[in-house]
Amino acid sequence: MESALLKRLDAILPAAPARDADAAGTHELPRRAMLLRAVAALPELPGEQPQGPSDPPEHRAAAAPHDPSSVHSAAARALRALAQAGLLSECVADAAAASGESGRPAPLSLRAMCLVRAALSYRSPLYDLMFVMQGLGSYAVALCGSAEQRRSYLPAVLQGDAVAALALTEPEAGSDLAGIRTRARPDGAGGYVIDGEKTFISNAGLATHYVLYARTDDHPKKGLTAFLLPAATPGVRTEPLALLCDDHPIGRVILEGVRLPESARIGQPGQGMTLALGTLEVFRPSVGAAAVGMARRALDETLVRVQARVQFGQPLAAFQATQLAVAEMATECEAAALLVAHAAALHDTGGPAMPASAMAKLFATEAAQRIIDRALQLHGGSGLIRGSVIERLYRDVRALRIYEGTSEIQKLVIARSLLTAKG
Ligand SMILES: Cc1cc2nc3c(=O)[nH]c(=O)nc-3n(C[C@H](O)[C@H](O)[C@H](O)COP(=O)(O)OP(=O)(O)OC[C@H]3O[C@@H](n4cnc5c(N)ncnc54)[C@H](O)[C@@H]3O)c2cc1C
Residue 264 sits in the same domain as residue 281: no
CATH code at position 226:
2.40.110.10
DSSP character at residue 271: -
Domain that holds residue 186: 164-269
Q: Of all atoms in ligand 1, which is nearest to the CA of residue 136?
A: 8
> Which residue is catalytic, options 28, 90, 366, 404?
404
Nearest CA to ligand 1 atom 6: 201
Residue 280 sits in the same domain as residue 359: yes
Q: Is the bond preceding residue 355 a cis peptide, omega within 30 degrees? A: yes
Q: Of all atoms in ligand 1, which is nearest to the CA of residue 133?
A: 8
Residue 230 sits in the same domain as residue 305: no
Q: Of all atoms in ligand 1, which is nearest to the CA of residue 175?
A: 29
CA angle (12 as vertex; 290, 349 as ends), nearest 5: 75
Judge contact between 259 and 187, C-beta under 8 A.
yes
What residues form DSSP beta bridges with 315?
310
pLDDT in tens, 67-84: 778 899 999 999 999 999
Q: Of all atoms in ligand 1, which is nearest to the CA of residue 166?
A: 9
Handedness of CA 140, 404, 295, 128 (dihedral sign): positive
User: Can you give the pLDDT at residue 270?
Assistant: 98
Residue 79 sits in the same domain as residue 172: no
State in Å: Cα 175 to ligand 1 middle.
Answer: 5
**What are the Cα distances from residue 191, in Å, to 185, 219, 225, 258, 320?**
8, 20, 13, 11, 68
Domain final residue pick, 209, 238, 269: 269
DSSP character at residue 402: T
Among 130, 166, 168, 175, the mutation site with the greatest number of ligand 1 atoms within 8 A of its Cβ is 175
Residue 319 sits in the same domain as residue 405: yes
State in Å: Cα 130 to ligand 1 middle.
Answer: 20
Handedness of CA 57, 58, 60, 62 (dihedral sign): positive
Residue 246 sits in the same domain as residue 138: no
Annotated catalytic, 332? no
Nearest CA to ligand 1 atom 14: 200
State in Å: Cα 177 to ligand 1 middle.
Answer: 10
Residue 170 sits in the same domain as residue 139: no
Residue 280 sits in the same domain as residue 339: yes
Domain final residue pick, 252, 269, 286: 269
State in Å: Cα 173 to ligand 1 middle.
Answer: 8
Whole-prediction pTM value?
A: 0.94
Low pLDDT (below 50) residues in the chain: 18, 20-21, 24-26, 59, 61-62, 65, 98-100
Using alpha carbons, select from 106, 167, 185, 116 the residue that is nearest to residue 142.
Answer: 106
User: Can you give the pLDDT at residue 1?
Assistant: 56
Residue 265 sits in the same domain as residue 278: no
Nearest CA to ligand 1 atom 1: 399
Q: Of all atoms in ligand 1, which is nearest to the CA of residue 137?
A: 8
State in Å: Cα 306 to ligand 1 middle.
Answer: 36
CATH code at position 283:
1.20.140.10
DSSP tally for the chain: helices H, then strands E: 13, 10
Pairing of strands 209-215, 164-167: parallel
Count: domains in the chain: 3
State in Å: Cα 383 to ligand 1 middle.
Answer: 28
Residue 214 sits in the same domain as residue 310: no
Exposed e or buried b per residue across 404-414, where buried means at least 16 C-beta atoms within 10 angstroms of its C-beta = bbbbebbeebb
Exposure of 131 in the CB half-sphere (CA atoms within 13 A): 33
Q: Of all atoms in ligand 1, which is nearest to the CA of residue 176?
A: 29
Burial class of 22 by CB neighbour count within 10 A (0 to 12, 13 to 18, 19+) = exposed
Run of H or E including 5: helix 2-10
Burial class of 352 by CB neighbour count within 10 A (0 to 12, 13 to 18, 19+) = exposed
User: Can you give the pLDDT at residue 15?
Assistant: 82
Residue 294 sits in the same domain as residue 221: no
Using alpha carbons, select from 93, 74, 258 the residue that is nearest to residue 184.
Answer: 258
What is the percent of the chain where pLDDT is above 70? 89
User: Can you give the pLDDT at residue 420?
Assistant: 82
Residue 287 sits in the same domain as residue 411: yes
Residues with CB under 6 A from ligand 1: 166-169, 174-175, 200-202, 243, 245, 248, 250, 399, 402-404, 406, 408-409, 412
* Residue 274, number of CB atoms within 10 A of its CB: 18
User: Can you give the pLDDT at residue 52?
Assistant: 55
| Side chain identity, residue 49 | Q
Nearest CA to ligand 1 atom 19: 403
State in Å: Cα 23 to ligand 1 middle.
Answer: 35
Domain final residue pick, 108, 123, 158: 158
CATH code at position 71:
1.10.540.10
Among 250, 275, 403, the mutation site with the greatest number of ligand 1 atoms within 8 A of its Cβ is 403
Judge contact between 267 and 363, C-beta under 8 A.
no
Return d(Cα 283, Cα 393) in angstroms, integer: 21
